[in-house]
Chains A and B, each alone.
Chain A
Amino acid sequence: MKDEAIIRGGWPKNTWRRFTGESLWQGAISAGKSAGYMLCGFAILLGIWAIVSGVSQSLPGPFTTLKTMARMLADPFYDNGPNDKGIGIQLISSIGRVFAGFALGSLVAIPAGVLMGASSTCRRLFNPLVQLLRPVSPLAWFPIGLAVFKHAGEATIFVIFITSLWPTLINTAFGVGSLPDDHRNVARAFAFSRGRYLRRILIPFALPHILTGLRLSLGIAWVVIVAGEMLSGGVGIGFFVWDSWNALSLERVMSAILLIGLIGLLLDRGFDFVARKASYAS
């Protein structure tokens, strides 16, 4: 339950109560208030943005930006060769790379985390290594990826792979390591086999921690992909941002920033949704 509080993030506490019918009216008021606050926040941002852009001249204002964004979104999937593709193609390419790297990273990080959490020998062996590598910007691995894979796209996926390792690994190891003795004693007293212990005790107990790790990994992966694609070039939202700067179109850069934020938010909420379904089922 305490994990849920972290995962639920900013949603108002009584979001779900709204659907139970009993306090429908109160719920409606509360939802209305939340929406009101959100709109006020956006209005403040737009106001500051309009003032700053009016003063600085070089920064595009909100209205020109929104006009440019509308034009970008009107035809998101056009493809006029390698350096001129629609925003939809760029975003889908980036999301694909994020998921590829994230999936590969998770495949390594979850078993490694379980090992580190369950065995103090593994923890002592690998924890210093993890602590050493974790503070390194994943972008520093880009040249290594290039050298190994000879291809910028795969090197970007490699960077995302590295990015996705650490939060998942550390949270999984923590979750597995904090298994209470009470649960472990049940397995011992009732002679659980290794497989039953994993399936019925260790994994279910660690699942909320693993999901928290995965969610953090996915969030950071989406942050890192933009920078990664600025280096790799070719295609992707990061490349799009850099290419727009080279074309001196800050309207497009600002539009991309808004879209990156929106998609990051959707990824996070989507993961939260899937994760909650998964942990209810288990």
Chain B
Amino acid sequence: MSAQYLQARDVTISFDTSKGRFTAVKNINLTVKRGEIVSIIGHSGCGKSTILNAIGGLVRLSAGEIVLGGVTVDAPGPDRGIVFQHYSLLPWLTVYQNIFEAVDSVRVDISKGEKAALVESFLKKVNLWESRDKKPAQLSGGMKQRVAIARAFAIHPEVLLLDEPFGALDALTKASLHEELVNLLQMDNRTETIVIVTHNIEEAIFLSDRIVVMTNGPEATIGDIIDVPIPRPRDKREIVHRPEYVEVHDRLLYLLMDAFAAHKKSAA
């Protein structure tokens, strides 16, 4: 079971729009092992977020199925923690309350005191314990994203789904958050399976075991899947000089800039 822990089989997702039926992704076949970190990379509009939302159970499939641990996914569930693209914190709640409400809702198995301790430990892990009483509007983008990550981790999901988690952040914040994320994962001895949507090549290589490259939308599908044979722990400064890194980087650049280049002149 572990080898085919999370599977997408012939998944097609279409939406009804005012201009008729729009097929975002078509014939997606993907198998993810338990504990694996997989990135989905592609140009904007290639449906990568759609796939992630489908795994999250937030989007209805038009065809095919997604199976998680032997069970077909058809709704959101606390076995999957989602970090949304736009943080999706509740602006009227404090940092603490944002995480506590999620923990309180999902972790029906533990007492109030244990919930409070859990929230505290995760807020400390992302260095936001001092800011626990602030509202999201008082936080920087990087801090908001750390709250969103802590919220998704704190419910102890089996699968973590990250939708362009660092897309809106500046390069320096992004780099330090990558390392924080990796630390957070290792502290947990990583039982979680992780799917990350990104449009950033360096981010994908640094974080993933495998990288799924999407063709362009509409009717986007998986163009190629690339292994990242770089051992962990990875050091951001060190890995860029490794031949494996250069090879994967070149391959990704070729796929994204030439093979599946955006129709318009690419900005990436």
B200 to chain A, nearest CB (A): 22
B105 engages A191 (CB within 8 Å): yes
Q: Which of B165-194 contact A (CB under 8 A)?
A: none
Q: Given A183-B88, A188-B76, are A200 and B106 also a contact pair (CB < 8 Å)?
A: no
Q: A183-B90, A204-B90 are in contact. Are A189 and B58 (CB under 8 A)?
A: yes
Which of B76, B84, B90, B92 is A191 in contact with, Cβ under 8 Å? B76
> When chains A and B are docked, how far (Å) is the Cα of A170 from the Cα of B206?
51
Instruction: Tell which of B75, B77, B101, B155 touches A200, judged by Cβ atoms closer than 8 Å.
Output: B101
Interface size bucket, A side? 10 to 19
CA distance A52 to B101 in the complex (A): 65
Nearest Cβ on chain B to A184's Cβ, whole angstroms: 9
A282 to chain B: closest residue by CB: B92
Instruction: Specify which chain B residues have a CB less than 8 angstroms from the CB of A193 in the assembled complex.
Output: 105
A189 touching B56, Cβ below 8 Å: yes
A186 at the interface (CB under 8 A from B): yes
In residues 73-101 of chain B, which contact A (Cβ within 8 Å)? 75-78, 80-82, 84, 86, 88, 90, 92-93, 101
The chain A residue sitting closest to B97, CB to CB, is: A200
B151: chain A residues at CB < 8 Å are 190
Of residues 113 to 137 in A, which have CB atoms within 8 Å of B's CB atoms?
A: none
A204 CB contacts on chain B under 8 angstroms: 90, 92-93
Cα–Cα, bound, A282→B91 (Å): 11
The answer to whether residues A182 and B86 also contact, given A190-B105, A191-B105, A196-B105 and a CB cut-off of 8 A, is: yes
Please name all residues of chain B whose beta carbon is closer than 8 Å to the beta carbon of A53 when the two chains form the complex. Answer: none
Assess the B155–A190 pair: CB atoms within 8 A: yes
Least CB distance, A44 to chain B, in whole angstroms: 43
Closest chain B residue, CB of each to CB of A199? B101
Number of interface residues of B (CB under 8 A): 23
* Complex contact B106–A191 (CB within 8 A): yes
Q: Is B118's beta carbon under 8 Å from chain A?
A: no
Please report whether the interface of chain A is mostly helix, strand, loop or mixed according to DSSP: helix
Please indicate the chain A residues that have their CB under 8 angstroms from the CB of B105 in the complex. 190-193, 196
- Is the pair A190, B88 in contact by a Cβ cutoff of 8 Å? no
Contact of B225 with A by CB under 8 A: no
- The smallest C-beta distance from A197 to any residue of chain B, in angstroms, reads 9
Is A230 part of the binding interface, using a Cβ–Cβ cutoff of 8 Å? no
Whether A185 sits at the interface, judged by CB under 8 Å, is yes
Given known A189-B56, A191-B78, contact A182–B88 (CB-CB < 8 A)? yes
Of all chain A residues, the one with the shortest Cβ separation from B102 is A190
CB distance from A193 to the nearest CB of B (A): 7
The digit string for A161-197, where 1 denotes a CB below 8 A from any CB of B, is: 0000000000000000000001101101111110010
Q: A201 CA to B91 CA in the complex, in Å?
A: 10
Complex CA distance for A189 and B102, rounded to whole angstroms: 9
Contacts of A185 in B (CB 8 A): 58, 76, 82, 84, 88
Interface residues of A in 198-245 (CB under 8 A from B): 200-201, 204-205
Known A-B contacts A182-B88, A183-B88, A200-B101; A189 and B82 likewise in contact (beta carbons under 8 Å) = yes
Residue of A nearest to B92 (CB): A204
- Give Cα A169–Cα B42 distance, bound, in whole angstroms: 45
Which residues of chain A have C-beta atoms less than 8 A from B93's C-beta? 200, 204
A1 CB to nearest B CB, Å = 9
Give the CA-CA distance A188 to B53 in the complex, in Å.
12
Contact indicator B76/A189 (Cβ below 8 Å): yes
| Cross-chain contact A186 with B88 (CB below 8 angstroms) | yes
Q: How far is the CA of A192 from the CA of B105 in the complex (A)?
A: 6
- CB A191 to nearest CB in B, in angstroms, measures 5
A59 to B239, CA, bound (A): 91
Let me know if B90 and A186 touch, CB within 8 A: yes
A190 partner, pick from B75, B86, B92, B106, beta carbons under 8 A = B106
| A188 pairs with B58, CB closer than 8 A | yes
User: How far apart are the CA atoms of A185 and B104 in the complex, in Å?
Assistant: 17
**Quick check: A182 and B84 within 8 Å, CB to CB?**
yes
Write the A52-64 contact mask toward B (1 if CB under 8 angstroms, else 0).
Answer: 0000000000000
Residues of A near B80 (CB, < 8 A) are 189
A204 to B81, CA, bound (A): 24
A210 to chain B, nearest CB (A): 14
* Complex-state Cα separation, A265 to B58, whole angstroms: 48
CB distance A191 to B77 under 8 Å?
Answer: yes
Give residues of chain B (131-158) contacting chain A, Cβ–Cβ below 8 Å. Answer: 151, 155
Top 9 A-B pairs, shortest CB-CB distance: A190-B102, A204-B92, A188-B76, A189-B82, A182-B88, A189-B76, A191-B78, A186-B88, A190-B105
Sample of 11 A–B contacts (CB below 8 Å): A188-B57, A188-B58, A189-B76, A189-B81, A191-B76, A191-B77, A196-B104, A196-B105, A204-B90, A204-B93, A282-B92
